[in-house]
């Protein structure tokens, strides 16, 4: 199943002899790790966009320890309801959630702007089509995807509408109001509640909200897990350095994670 799109001319890509090629002669080699880089230089705003290698490694270690497994399971339960043939995970990172999704579909694409993350993901699961790419121009053909997912990632709304099939679905996962509240209290002078409902307002012109739920889990973190959690979030560079140092010296820390999950369906397009 060839669902990828050339980011230069927007023609379909076909896999030929270990390279993705379009009819206009553009070609993109499959790297030895098994991914393809479709983030062309004219779409780049920095030399190494996306998460740092340190952040990617910290997230991989934290997630592999199972702390966010309840969220992974909740996403899988949604897919078991929807039974999609094609899935696009936007902002797939190192592939923890994407690999779980892949087991519940015929064809799964994971795309992320961070090459270091996609390299790790490709080592994890060779049954996913892993792509370095940007949400600003999703390298995927029009109306080819049954379910798009964005877990703690940006939501390129118009591009999602373009790649989704008619009445396709969008899964959004974002922090619930009190997600990691105790951690944020320890790192910042002032802590505001997250506002997940902003995504309902953002998407309402093109999507209908079908389901919503909050998944919560309480985590007992040792020193290493706590350091990894901090390092994989924006708190790593936003937090007060003295507060972060003091927190990371704690041997044990208890914190609750709260995930807001939304399931949207693309509005039916008016016939011409």
pLDDT by residue for the chain (272 residues), tens only, comes to: 789 999 999 999 999 999 999 999 999 999 999 999 999 864 444 455 457 888 889 999 999 999 999 999 999 999 999 999 999 999 999 999 999 999 999 999 999 999 999 999 999 899 999 999 999 999 999 999 999 999 999 999 999 999 999 999 999 999 999 999 999 999 999 999 999 999 999 999 999 999 999 999 999 999 999 999 999 998 888 888 999 999 999 999 999 999 999 999 999 865 54
Take residue 202 and report the two structure tokens written for it.
């953002």
6 marked among binding-site residues: yes
Bridge partner residues of 246 (DSSP): none
pLDDT of residue 43: 47
95 marked among binding-site residues: yes
Take residue 177 and report the two structure tokens written for it.
């109001």
State the DSSP H helix or E strand holding residue 55, giving kind and residue range, or none if neither: helix 53-64
pLDDT of residue 105: 97
To the question of domain 14-266 being in CATH 3.40.50.150, the answer is: yes
Q: State the pTM of this model.
A: 0.94
Cβ–Cβ < 8 Å for 137, 158: no
SS3 assignment, position 6: coil
108 marked among binding-site residues: no
| Count of beta carbons in the 10 Å neighbourhood of residue 61 | 17
- Percent helix, strand, coil in the chain (nearest 5)? 30, 30, 40
Helical residues (DSSP H) of 65-192, grouped into ranges: 69-82, 96-102, 115-124, 157-163, 181-187
pLDDT of residue 85: 98
pLDDT of residue 145: 98
In the 8-state DSSP scheme, what is residue 270? P
Closest CA to 247 of 259, 236, 234, 232: 236
pLDDT of residue 48: 52
68 marked among binding-site residues: yes
pLDDT of residue 53: 82
Backbone angles phi and psi of 229, in degrees to 5: -60, -45
97 marked among binding-site residues: no
């Amino acid at each position: 199943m060839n669902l990828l799109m050339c980011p230069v001319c927007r023609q379909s890509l076909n896999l030929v002899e270990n390279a993705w090629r379009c009819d206009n002669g553009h070609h993109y080699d499959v790297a030895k790790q098994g991914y393809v880089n479709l983030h062309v230089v004219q779409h780049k705003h920095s030399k190494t966009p996306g998460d740092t290698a340190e952040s990617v490694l910290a997230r991989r270690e934290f997630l592999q320890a199972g702390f966010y497994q309840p969220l992974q399971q909740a996403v899988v339960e949604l897919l078991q309801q929807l039974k999609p043939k094609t899935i696009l995970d936007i902002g797939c990172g190192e592939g923890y959630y994407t690999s779980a999704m892949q087991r519940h579909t015929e064809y799964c694409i994971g795309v992320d702007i961070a090459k270091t993350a996609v390299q790790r993901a490709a080592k994890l699961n060779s049954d996913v089509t892993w792509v370095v790419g940007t949400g600003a121009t999703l390298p995927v053909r029009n109306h080819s995807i049954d379910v798009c997912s964005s877990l703690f990632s940006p939501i390129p709304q118009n591009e999602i509408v373009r790649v989704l099939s008619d009445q396709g679905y969008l899964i959004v996962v974002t922090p619930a109001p009190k997600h990691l509240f105790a951690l944020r209290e320890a790192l910042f002078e002032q802590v505001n509640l997250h506002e997940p409902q902003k995504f309902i307002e953002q998407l309402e012109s093109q999507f209908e909200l079908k389901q919503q739920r909050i998944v919560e889990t309480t985590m007992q973190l040792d020193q290493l897990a706590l350091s990894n959690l901090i390092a994989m979030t924006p708190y790593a560079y936003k937090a007060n350095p003295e507060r972060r140092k003091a927190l990371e010296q704690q041997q044990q820390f208890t914190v609750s994670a709260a995930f807001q999950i939304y399931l949207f369906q693309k509005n039916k397009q008016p016939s011409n």
